[in-house]
Structure 1
Amino acid sequence: MLIDWNELELTVEFVSSGPVGAHEAVLCRRTGKFLLHTELFDDADDWPEDADDEEKYLSIPHKKELDLGKALVFEFARQFLPEEYDEIRRIFSKRGAYARFKGLLQRRKALDRWFEFENRATEMALREWCDANGLTIRKGDPPAQEPEQR
């Protein structure tokens, strides 16, 4: 099935904008359209009753389901801020970790590097997910890139 890269990225961002399960999205295997659902609004009329039917719909993953959560932060720290690794692990042992982590990155002038690293890792994970699910990205969409290595 042919899909639009930008739609996929936006849909994954929607699904990932809350805790796992708070926002859902599926790709209709028949039409190729992305369908969105959130518990914040009563949009159940637009959400198919059989959205869990894997023959009809493909569930769009949350970033955490693609290992793009804390594991990615720790990999970034290991590669680019090894002297801060223990501090970053401590930061992520408490609530509100991402705000404190980004504050640390700003102080270390590494915020842009983090965003680049995160974007590349997200792209790679999504491309692998597409391959595993038989999805083809429409031509003209961004080329695959490897995450920056130290």
Structure 2
Amino acid sequence: MLKLIEKFEKAIITVLILMLFIVIAVSVLELGIVIAKTLLTPPVLLMDINKLLDVLGFFMLILVGIELVETMKVYYTEKSFKVVEAVIMAAIIAITRKIIILDVKVLSSTTLIGISLVLAALCLGYYILRKSVCYNEKTNNED
């Protein structure tokens, strides 16, 4: 029964990865079209700040998608700390993307502090995880 569950799980992850590939490919094409249209409309080769932020947000969204593929790939091949590391990295990228497209003029200071604390906690968690993995690898190599 466990073998069947593992096969089902791997099949679902495979389908999700394939669908995410399609979404990422279409998103990259759309980003290219948006950049081309923006640069070709007057004033040529210039972007206003709002368009630039939109493009950067779109770019970061694609990076989040790529990080999700990496997370699923790691989960598919091995179930270890690397999965946790990949999930934390995806969260850091997603929050960074959100920060790039935020309009800080309309948000309260407590919201900005909250976002900062979440990002700091994720970064600290990632740092601790990396340190513990590196420590464990050094210890295992010395044996």
Length-normalised TM-score, structure 2: 0.35
- Of Structure 1 and Structure 2, the greater strand share is in 1
Structure whose alpha-carbon radius of gyration is higher: 2
- Of Structure 1 and Structure 2, the greater helix share is in 2
Q: Which has the higher contact order (CA 8 A, sep 6+)?
A: 1
Length-normalised TM-score, structure 1: 0.34
